[in-house]
Amino acid sequence: MNVSETSLPGVLVITPRVFGDERGFFLESYNEKRMSDMGIRERFVQDNHSCSSQNVLRGLHYQIKHPQGKLVRVVAGEILDVAVDLRTKSPALGRWHGVTLSADNKKMLWVPPGLAHGFLVLSDSAQVLYKTTDFYYPEFERTLAWNDPDLNIAWQLKGEPIVSAKDALGVSFKDAEKFEL
């Protein structure tokens, strides 16, 4: 696996080694030892799978208690995956990083605890798999406004995105609860 640092401390883009031939391909999507060597030493407790149609925007989500680290990958389609730093002690507080994840490029994004996470589906549909380091606690879930002008995320939108009622009520970065990390 190859790892690239991003503009946000601790957020990593991981490109697995792909072994392909006329039959298809094989890749290791998770290897505890290799991840540990990259600095990802958290224990994963839950796997999630979402399927969304084009222009669906999910997020930006985080849990203020029981913060989740997420290892995100796409097995069908393409997304713009975005992380926003909410760690008050981070030099990148309030900054975001986006990366295109797709079934074709097979890249993964590691989003450590203390960041909000969301994605926009760029293809006709996308299937997103992600591992989390803590369980889902709806009472601690928070939503950061995907369209906050202070964040100015370049979503690559083609028209108005499709968002859930909950995501439409996301709070601004300045009003969002943050992490003392």
DSSP string over 99-141: EEEETTT--EEEE-TTEEEEEEE-SSEEEEEEEESS---GGGE
| CATH number, domain with residue 140 | 2.60.120.10
The one catalytic residue in 61, 62, 97, 117 is 61
* 71 cis-preceded (ω within 30 degrees of 0): no
Give the pLDDT confidence score for residue 181 in this predicted structure: 81
Total structural domains in the chain? 1
User: Is 130 annotated as catalytic?
Assistant: yes
Q: Which domain holds residue 97?
A: 2-168
The one catalytic residue in 30, 49, 130, 136 is 130
The answer, yes or no, to whether residue 142 has pLDDT greater than 90, is yes
Whether residue 177 lies inside any domain: the answer is no
What's the pTM? 0.95
Burial (CB count within 10 angstroms: exposed 0-12, middle 13-18, buried 19+), residue 66: middle
**Confidence label for 15 from pLDDT (cuts 50, 70 and 90):** very high
User: Is 30 annotated as catalytic?
Assistant: no
Whether residue 136 lies inside any domain: the answer is yes
